[in-house]
Amino acid sequence: MQDFIFHSKPKMYASVYLLLIPLFGLIYYLLPETIGEGKTLVQCFYFSAVTITTLGYGDISPTNDLGRLVAASESIFGITLIGLFLNALSRVRSETTRSEEIEKEKNTYREGEIAKLNGFYSLIRPLAEKYKQSVIQITSPLKSRTQEYNHDFTLNDMMDLYKSSMLLTQNQHEPAVKYYFSSLNALNTEISDLIKNVDLRLFPKLEKHCLSFVNAVHSFDFSDSILGAVNTRLGNKKMTDYVSEMLEKHSGEVKFLESNMINGYAALYHQIKLQMKLLELINEDINTIVNS
Protein backbone atom coordinates (compact mmCIF):
# COMPACT_ATOMS: atom_id res chain seq x y z
CA MET A 1 0.00 0.00 0.00
CA GLN A 2 2.82 2.38 0.87
CA ASP A 3 4.51 1.72 -2.45
CA PHE A 4 1.23 2.34 -4.26
CA ILE A 5 0.79 5.70 -2.54
CA PHE A 6 4.35 7.00 -2.75
CA HIS A 7 5.84 5.17 -5.74
CA SER A 8 3.14 5.23 -8.39
CA LYS A 9 3.62 6.70 -11.85
CA PRO A 10 2.95 10.42 -12.46
CA LYS A 11 -0.10 9.69 -14.65
CA MET A 12 -1.77 7.89 -11.74
CA TYR A 13 -1.51 10.98 -9.51
CA ALA A 14 -2.69 13.20 -12.37
CA SER A 15 -5.67 10.92 -13.04
CA VAL A 16 -6.72 10.90 -9.37
CA TYR A 17 -6.28 14.69 -9.20
CA LEU A 18 -8.58 15.23 -12.19
CA LEU A 19 -11.13 12.68 -10.93
CA LEU A 20 -11.43 14.52 -7.60
CA ILE A 21 -12.86 17.60 -9.37
CA PRO A 22 -16.12 15.95 -10.54
CA LEU A 23 -16.21 13.76 -7.39
CA PHE A 24 -16.22 16.74 -5.02
CA GLY A 25 -18.45 18.64 -7.44
CA LEU A 26 -21.07 15.92 -7.04
CA ILE A 27 -20.68 16.12 -3.25
CA TYR A 28 -21.37 19.88 -3.33
CA TYR A 29 -24.32 19.32 -5.64
CA LEU A 30 -25.84 16.51 -3.55
CA LEU A 31 -25.22 18.48 -0.33
CA PRO A 32 -26.44 21.93 -1.38
CA GLU A 33 -26.20 23.30 2.15
CA THR A 34 -22.39 23.13 1.87
CA ILE A 35 -22.11 26.02 -0.62
CA GLY A 36 -25.64 27.39 -0.67
CA GLU A 37 -28.93 26.38 -2.21
CA GLY A 38 -29.70 26.71 -5.90
CA LYS A 39 -26.23 26.00 -7.30
CA THR A 40 -26.16 24.21 -10.66
CA LEU A 41 -24.02 21.15 -11.38
CA VAL A 42 -21.70 23.29 -13.48
CA GLN A 43 -21.29 25.78 -10.62
CA CYS A 44 -20.50 22.91 -8.25
CA PHE A 45 -17.84 21.57 -10.64
CA TYR A 46 -16.46 25.10 -11.01
CA PHE A 47 -16.20 25.53 -7.23
CA SER A 48 -14.54 22.13 -6.95
CA ALA A 49 -11.91 23.08 -9.57
CA VAL A 50 -11.24 26.43 -7.90
CA THR A 51 -10.93 24.76 -4.50
CA ILE A 52 -8.61 21.86 -5.49
CA THR A 53 -6.28 24.27 -7.30
CA THR A 54 -6.37 26.63 -4.25
CA LEU A 55 -7.25 29.59 -6.46
CA GLY A 56 -10.06 30.70 -4.13
CA TYR A 57 -11.84 33.42 -6.21
CA GLY A 58 -14.44 33.92 -3.47
CA ASP A 59 -17.47 34.21 -5.78
CA ILE A 60 -18.71 30.92 -4.28
CA SER A 61 -17.91 30.04 -0.69
CA PRO A 62 -18.79 27.32 1.87
CA THR A 63 -21.85 28.29 3.88
CA ASN A 64 -21.45 26.00 6.89
CA ASP A 65 -18.90 23.95 8.80
CA LEU A 66 -19.58 20.85 6.70
CA GLY A 67 -18.90 22.83 3.53
CA ARG A 68 -15.70 24.25 4.99
CA LEU A 69 -14.56 20.74 6.04
CA VAL A 70 -15.24 19.28 2.58
CA ALA A 71 -13.56 22.23 0.81
CA ALA A 72 -10.53 22.04 3.11
CA SER A 73 -10.26 18.29 2.54
CA GLU A 74 -10.35 18.82 -1.23
CA SER A 75 -7.61 21.46 -1.02
CA ILE A 76 -5.39 19.21 1.08
CA PHE A 77 -5.93 16.29 -1.33
CA GLY A 78 -5.10 18.57 -4.24
CA ILE A 79 -1.88 19.94 -2.73
CA THR A 80 -0.80 16.42 -1.67
CA LEU A 81 -1.43 14.98 -5.11
CA ILE A 82 0.48 17.82 -6.78
CA GLY A 83 3.43 17.13 -4.47
CA LEU A 84 3.30 13.40 -5.19
CA PHE A 85 2.98 14.12 -8.91
CA LEU A 86 6.05 16.37 -8.95
CA ASN A 87 8.01 13.88 -6.85
CA ALA A 88 7.06 11.08 -9.25
CA LEU A 89 8.15 13.19 -12.22
CA SER A 90 11.50 13.82 -10.53
CA ARG A 91 11.91 10.11 -9.76
CA VAL A 92 11.07 9.07 -13.32
CA ARG A 93 13.48 11.65 -14.68
CA SER A 94 16.21 10.44 -12.33
CA GLU A 95 15.58 6.81 -13.29
CA THR A 96 15.58 7.70 -16.98
CA THR A 97 18.84 9.62 -16.63
CA ARG A 98 20.42 6.72 -14.72
CA SER A 99 19.17 4.24 -17.33
CA GLU A 100 20.65 6.40 -20.07
CA GLU A 101 23.98 6.55 -18.19
CA ILE A 102 23.98 2.76 -17.70
CA GLU A 103 23.15 2.23 -21.37
CA LYS A 104 25.91 4.63 -22.37
CA GLU A 105 28.37 2.79 -20.13
CA LYS A 106 27.28 -0.53 -21.65
CA ASN A 107 27.71 0.84 -25.17
CA THR A 108 31.13 2.24 -24.33
CA TYR A 109 32.19 -1.07 -22.79
CA ARG A 110 30.82 -3.00 -25.76
CA GLU A 111 32.65 -0.76 -28.21
CA GLY A 112 35.87 -1.35 -26.28
CA GLU A 113 35.36 -5.12 -26.42
CA ILE A 114 34.60 -4.93 -30.14
CA ALA A 115 37.84 -3.01 -30.66
CA LYS A 116 39.76 -5.73 -28.79
CA LEU A 117 37.92 -8.39 -30.77
CA ASN A 118 38.85 -6.69 -34.02
CA GLY A 119 42.47 -6.60 -32.90
CA PHE A 120 42.49 -10.32 -32.14
CA TYR A 121 40.77 -11.04 -35.44
CA SER A 122 43.56 -9.30 -37.33
CA LEU A 123 45.87 -11.92 -35.80
CA ILE A 124 43.49 -14.85 -36.19
CA ARG A 125 42.67 -14.20 -39.85
CA PRO A 126 46.13 -15.04 -41.31
CA LEU A 127 46.47 -18.01 -38.95
CA ALA A 128 43.07 -19.29 -40.09
CA GLU A 129 44.17 -18.99 -43.70
CA LYS A 130 47.39 -20.83 -42.89
CA TYR A 131 45.37 -23.55 -41.17
CA LYS A 132 43.07 -23.80 -44.18
CA GLN A 133 46.06 -24.28 -46.48
CA SER A 134 47.41 -27.02 -44.21
CA VAL A 135 44.01 -28.72 -44.29
CA ILE A 136 44.01 -28.69 -48.08
CA GLN A 137 47.41 -30.42 -48.09
CA ILE A 138 46.16 -33.43 -46.10
CA THR A 139 42.59 -33.69 -47.41
CA SER A 140 43.36 -33.86 -51.12
CA PRO A 141 45.62 -36.42 -52.85
CA LEU A 142 48.72 -35.08 -54.58
CA LYS A 143 47.51 -36.26 -57.99
CA SER A 144 44.37 -34.12 -57.84
CA ARG A 145 45.35 -31.35 -55.41
CA THR A 146 43.82 -27.91 -55.81
CA GLN A 147 44.02 -24.73 -53.76
CA GLU A 148 40.40 -24.91 -52.61
CA TYR A 149 39.13 -26.74 -49.58
CA ASN A 150 36.76 -29.59 -50.42
CA HIS A 151 34.00 -29.77 -47.80
CA ASP A 152 33.09 -33.24 -49.01
CA PHE A 153 36.53 -34.84 -48.74
CA THR A 154 36.65 -38.49 -47.71
CA LEU A 155 39.02 -40.50 -45.57
CA ASN A 156 40.52 -41.86 -48.82
CA ASP A 157 41.48 -38.30 -49.81
CA MET A 158 43.77 -38.15 -46.75
CA MET A 159 46.05 -40.92 -48.01
CA ASP A 160 48.92 -38.51 -48.78
CA LEU A 161 48.96 -36.78 -45.38
CA TYR A 162 52.48 -38.11 -44.68
CA LYS A 163 53.89 -36.77 -47.93
CA SER A 164 55.38 -33.33 -48.22
CA SER A 165 52.97 -30.58 -49.16
CA MET A 166 53.29 -28.40 -52.24
CA LEU A 167 53.66 -25.25 -50.14
CA LEU A 168 56.90 -23.34 -50.51
CA THR A 169 56.59 -22.12 -46.93
CA GLN A 170 56.79 -25.65 -45.56
CA ASN A 171 59.91 -27.71 -44.96
CA GLN A 172 59.98 -30.11 -47.89
CA HIS A 173 61.45 -32.84 -45.71
CA GLU A 174 58.53 -32.85 -43.27
CA PRO A 175 55.13 -34.48 -43.81
CA ALA A 176 52.10 -32.29 -44.51
CA VAL A 177 50.35 -33.55 -41.37
CA LYS A 178 53.08 -32.04 -39.19
CA TYR A 179 52.45 -28.68 -40.83
CA TYR A 180 48.75 -29.21 -40.12
CA PHE A 181 49.23 -29.70 -36.37
CA SER A 182 51.65 -26.79 -36.19
CA SER A 183 49.11 -24.49 -37.89
CA LEU A 184 46.30 -25.82 -35.72
CA ASN A 185 48.20 -25.20 -32.47
CA ALA A 186 49.04 -21.62 -33.47
CA LEU A 187 45.43 -20.90 -34.37
CA ASN A 188 44.13 -22.59 -31.23
CA THR A 189 46.46 -20.50 -29.06
CA GLU A 190 45.19 -17.26 -30.59
CA ILE A 191 41.51 -18.24 -30.27
CA SER A 192 42.16 -19.28 -26.65
CA ASP A 193 43.70 -15.85 -26.00
CA LEU A 194 40.64 -14.22 -27.56
CA ILE A 195 38.38 -16.16 -25.18
CA LYS A 196 40.47 -15.11 -22.17
CA ASN A 197 40.89 -11.44 -23.10
CA VAL A 198 37.59 -10.45 -24.73
CA ASP A 199 34.31 -10.46 -22.80
CA LEU A 200 32.50 -12.93 -25.05
CA ARG A 201 29.44 -12.86 -22.79
CA LEU A 202 28.48 -9.89 -24.96
CA PHE A 203 28.58 -12.13 -28.03
CA PRO A 204 27.10 -15.52 -26.98
CA LYS A 205 27.11 -17.08 -30.48
CA LEU A 206 30.78 -16.23 -30.98
CA GLU A 207 31.59 -17.49 -27.49
CA LYS A 208 29.88 -20.81 -28.23
CA HIS A 209 31.73 -21.29 -31.52
CA CYS A 210 35.14 -20.33 -30.09
CA LEU A 211 34.72 -22.67 -27.12
CA SER A 212 33.62 -25.45 -29.46
CA PHE A 213 36.72 -24.91 -31.60
CA VAL A 214 39.08 -25.12 -28.63
CA ASN A 215 37.22 -28.12 -27.24
CA ALA A 216 37.47 -29.92 -30.60
CA VAL A 217 41.26 -29.42 -30.64
CA HIS A 218 41.57 -31.36 -27.40
CA SER A 219 38.71 -33.85 -27.91
CA PHE A 220 40.10 -35.11 -31.24
CA ASP A 221 43.78 -34.86 -30.34
CA PHE A 222 45.65 -37.89 -31.69
CA SER A 223 48.64 -35.82 -32.76
CA ASP A 224 51.21 -37.87 -30.80
CA SER A 225 50.00 -41.09 -32.36
CA ILE A 226 49.72 -39.65 -35.87
CA LEU A 227 53.10 -37.92 -35.83
CA GLY A 228 54.70 -40.89 -34.06
CA ALA A 229 54.03 -43.03 -37.12
CA VAL A 230 56.64 -41.01 -39.07
CA ASN A 231 59.54 -42.75 -37.26
CA THR A 232 57.86 -46.12 -36.77
CA ARG A 233 58.14 -49.29 -38.79
CA LEU A 234 55.80 -52.26 -38.98
CA GLY A 235 58.08 -55.17 -39.85
CA ASN A 236 60.03 -54.19 -42.95
CA LYS A 237 57.49 -51.55 -43.89
CA LYS A 238 57.23 -47.93 -42.82
CA MET A 239 54.20 -47.26 -40.68
CA THR A 240 53.38 -44.23 -42.82
CA ASP A 241 53.16 -46.42 -45.95
CA TYR A 242 50.91 -48.85 -44.14
CA VAL A 243 48.63 -46.00 -42.99
CA SER A 244 48.48 -44.49 -46.47
CA GLU A 245 47.39 -47.82 -47.95
CA MET A 246 44.83 -48.26 -45.18
CA LEU A 247 43.33 -44.82 -45.84
CA GLU A 248 43.29 -45.34 -49.59
CA LYS A 249 41.42 -48.66 -49.26
CA HIS A 250 38.96 -47.47 -46.62
CA SER A 251 35.29 -47.63 -47.50
CA GLY A 252 32.06 -46.94 -45.69
CA GLU A 253 31.31 -44.69 -42.73
CA VAL A 254 34.16 -43.01 -40.89
CA LYS A 255 33.72 -44.15 -37.31
CA PHE A 256 35.79 -45.08 -34.29
CA LEU A 257 36.59 -48.74 -33.70
CA GLU A 258 37.92 -50.44 -30.59
CA SER A 259 41.65 -51.26 -30.73
CA ASN A 260 41.97 -50.11 -34.32
CA MET A 261 44.71 -48.02 -35.87
CA ILE A 262 42.19 -46.07 -37.89
CA ASN A 263 40.80 -44.30 -34.80
CA GLY A 264 43.40 -41.53 -34.84
CA TYR A 265 42.76 -40.78 -38.50
CA ALA A 266 39.00 -40.97 -38.02
CA ALA A 267 39.41 -38.40 -35.23
CA LEU A 268 41.52 -36.21 -37.52
CA TYR A 269 38.87 -36.50 -40.24
CA HIS A 270 36.05 -35.43 -37.90
CA GLN A 271 38.20 -32.72 -36.33
CA ILE A 272 38.86 -31.09 -39.69
CA LYS A 273 35.19 -31.29 -40.73
CA LEU A 274 34.07 -29.68 -37.48
CA GLN A 275 36.76 -27.04 -37.17
CA MET A 276 36.51 -25.81 -40.74
CA LYS A 277 32.78 -25.32 -40.19
CA LEU A 278 33.43 -23.56 -36.88
CA LEU A 279 35.98 -21.27 -38.52
CA GLU A 280 33.35 -20.22 -41.05
CA LEU A 281 30.91 -19.49 -38.24
CA ILE A 282 33.52 -17.58 -36.20
CA ASN A 283 34.37 -15.51 -39.27
CA GLU A 284 30.68 -14.72 -39.85
CA ASP A 285 30.12 -13.88 -36.17
CA ILE A 286 33.07 -11.49 -35.97
CA ASN A 287 32.20 -9.74 -39.24
CA THR A 288 28.60 -9.30 -38.05
CA ILE A 289 29.74 -7.89 -34.68
CA VAL A 290 32.39 -5.55 -36.07
CA ASN A 291 30.14 -4.23 -38.86
CA SER A 292 27.01 -3.84 -36.74
Q: What is the pLDDT of residues 69-105, one digit of tens each?
A: 999 999 999 999 999 999 999 988 888 888 899 999 9
Looking at the chain, the whole-number percentage of residues with pLDDT higher than 90 is: 65
pLDDT of amino acid 62: 92
Q: What is the pLDDT of residues 188-202, one digit of tens each?
A: 999 999 999 999 999
Closest alpha carbon to 64 in 86, 103, 42, 36: 36
CA separation for the pair 74, 71 (Å, rounded): 5
Class (C level, CATH) for 2-101: mainly alpha
Residue 30 has pLDDT above 60, yes or no: yes
Q: What is the pLDDT of residues 2-24, one digit of tens each?
A: 666 777 888 998 999 999 999 99
Side-chain half-sphere of 103: how many Cα atoms within 13 Å? Answer: 6
> What φ, ψ does residue 253 adopt, rounded to 5°?
-70, 145
Closest alpha carbon to 131 in 185, 195, 73: 185
Q: What is the pLDDT of residues 146-191, one digit of tens each?
A: 778 999 999 999 999 998 876 656 666 689 899 999 999 999 999 9
**In this predicted model, which residue has the larger pLDDT, 259 or 167?**
167
Give the confidence band of 57 by pLDDT, cuts at 50, 70, 90.
confident
* One-letter amino acid for residue 53 of the chain: T
CB 10 within 8 A of CB 87: no
Where do the structural domains in the chain lie, given as residue ranges? 2-101, 110-291
